[in-house]
Amino acid sequence: MGSTSSPPQRLSLDERQTLLRLARGSIVQGVKLGTPLQVSQDQYPTSLQYHRGSFVTLHSEGALRGCIGHLEAHQPLVVDVVENAYAAAFRDPRFPPLRQAELEGLDIHVAVLSTPVPIRFGSEQELLEILRPGVDGLILQYGHRKGTFLPSVWEQLPHPADFLNHLKRKTGLPVTSWPQGITALRYETESFS
């Protein structure tokens, strides 16, 4: 069974390439057989067996084609990436299932998440001042509503107020107010493609 203790700080180039190869393999198998790749975690380095959250983002001709992931670490990283790659290609409700013709130009991006940690703040303005553009992934929670932006979203929304307002909208919260009881967590990612 995968380890839930602390993983190493960074993945090696070989480990990154292994995850990208497996992600592509899961998508190719999905096109051919309609099922994700099955992996046995013990066949991979210990660093890929740690329980870690991950997201897989797909682009085709520069446009978003799917993005699925897990914020919480609940299974070995190698399994999480394989499952998320398949889900991004075939289960993202914003897009039709990926077709064979799209495989050749498909760009696969993997983001491995650190453990989310709560942010202490007293107001929306204070949260804006604490955010680290380009570094922080952010999770907003309010009641049963929950939304996140990966750190890569800072590329499109480099200003903290824009980043936060778009995330509020995505979470289903009013952009013009700040309801009492909102909580926020931050995380970082190790991203590669």
pTM of structure: 0.87
The residue among 81, 113, 145 that closes a domain is: 113
Q: Count the Cβ atoms, other than its own, within 10 Å of residue 180.
A: 5
Q: Are residues 131 and 168 in the same domain?
A: yes
- Answer yes or no: do 72 and 29 share one domain: yes
Domain contains 161: yes
- pLDDT, tens only, 150-168: 999 999 999 999 999 999 9
The predicted-structure confidence for 36-65, as pLDDT tens digits, reads as follows 999 999 999 999 999 999 999 999 988 999
Task: Please state, in angstroms and rounded to a whole number, the distance separating the CA atoms of residues 137 and 152.
Answer: 8
CATH number for 48:
3.30.700.20
Q: How many domains does the chain have?
A: 2
Whether residue 63 lies inside any domain: the answer is yes
Q: Are residues 104 and 125 in the same domain?
A: no
Q: Which residues of the chain have pLDDT under 50?
A: 1, 4
Q: What pLDDT, on the 0 to 100 scale, is given for residue 1?
A: 46
Residues 83 and 124 in one domain: no
Residues 124 and 107 in one domain: no
Q: Can you give the residue range of the structural domain that contains 149?
A: 117-188
The four Cα atoms 3, 107, 63, 110 give a dihedral, to 10 degrees, of 10
Alpha carbon of 130 to those of 72, 164, 192: distances in Å?
A: 23, 12, 26
Q: Take residue 115 and report the two structure tokens written for it.
A: 């453990």
pLDDT of res. 6 = 57
22: number of Cβ within 10 Å: 20
Indicate if 108 and 17 belong to the same structural domain.
yes
Q: Are residues 98 and 143 in the same domain?
A: no
| pLDDT value of position 7 | 58
